[in-house]
Structure 1
Amino acid sequence: MGFSFFFGKKINIFKITETKDKFARSFFSSILLRAYFVRRTRFGSLPVYLDIKGGGTKYLTLIRRVEGNAYELCKKLEKDLKLSRKELFVNNLTKHVIIKGSRVNEVKRILIKDGF
C-alpha cells in the first residue's frame, strides 16, 4: 500500500510524510488528506484569473487546475469569503470554480494560507 507505478518503476508516494520534522509531517499529511488540490502553473503562480465580460461590466474570478472534489473547495471559499451559494459555482466539464466579482487577491491569499 502507498505505492504507485510510474513508467514501470515502483515509487513510494508516502515517502514525503516519513520525515522527522513534526511541522513538515503535519503540513504534508494535511495536503494529502484534502479532497481537492489546486496545482500551480509551470511558472509557479496560482491559477486564479480575472475574466471580464460584457464590455467590462461583468467580472468573474476563475480558479483553474482543481484536481479532486471541486465542490469542497467551493464550500470552503463560500465560508471564507462569506458569499451566498448563488455567487459561486463549479463548471462540471472543466472543473473550474467560478466566483462572481473581482476576488483574485482574496482567493490567492486563502489558497496560500491553505498550503497551495
Structure 2
Amino acid sequence: MASALPFLRPLPPPRASFVQCLLRRISTTAQITQEAPTPYPTAAPQTTIPALPYHVNRTPSNQLPIYNITKGGGGTSKLTRLRKIDGDLAVLRSDLQQALQLKDEHIAINQLTRHIVIKGWRKTDVAKFLEERQF
C-alpha cells in the first residue's frame, strides 16, 4: 500500500539559493513600501551600489555562473556564457557592452534560455564586472 501512494512523501526543503531569491524580492518590496529613516549627521557616508534592474544568482557552490565554451570543429569558436539572470537582460547586456568595450555583434541575448553570450573567452572580465556590482 505504501508503494501505491508515493505522492504522500514529504518534500525536501528548498535550496538556499531559492530562499535567498525570495528574501531579496521581499526585502526590495519592503524597502519600497517603507520610508527610509533619516541618517544621523555624524554617520560616515556608506558606499552602496544603486538598485539594478537585473540580478545574477550564484550557483549552489556559491560561484558566479560564467562559463567558457568552445564550439565548432576543432575549437574554432570561443564563447563566454552568463547564466542565471533575473530581471532586465537588455540593461545587463548594455552595461556589459560598455564595461568590456564590445561591439554590438560580439554580445547577444538568448531570450529563450535567458543567457547572455559573449564572443571570446571573457570569463575573468565578466566576473570582475559582476563582483564590482556585488553579485
Higher strand share: 1
Distance 1:80 1:89 in 2: 15
Q: Which runs of 4+ in 1 moved over 4 A?
A: 18-22
How many Å apart are 1:34 and its aligned residue? 1.0
| Structural RMSD (CA) | 2.5
Which residue pairs with 1:64 in the alignment? 83
Cα deviation, 1:30-85, whole Å, max 9, x if unaligned, reads 2xx21110001111110000110112111010000010101111000110111110
1:34 aligns with 2:23: no
Distance 1:59 1:105 in 2: 14
What TM-score does the superposition give when structure 2 sets the normalisation length? 0.66
Structure 1: runs of 5 or more not aligned: 1-11
Which residue pairs with 1:103 in the alignment? 122
- Kindly report which structure 2 residues correspond to 1:9-88, keeping only aligned pairs within 5 A, or say none: 13-14=27-28, 23=46, 26-27=48-49, 30=50, 33-54=51-72, 55-88=74-107
Letter in structure 1 aligned against 2:53: A
Which residue pairs with 2:8 in the alignment? none
Distance 2:46 2:134 in 1: 12
Which residue pairs with 1:90 in the alignment? 109
What TM-score does the superposition give when structure 1 sets the normalisation length? 0.76
Aligned length, in residue pairs? 101
Aligned-partner SS, 1:56: coil
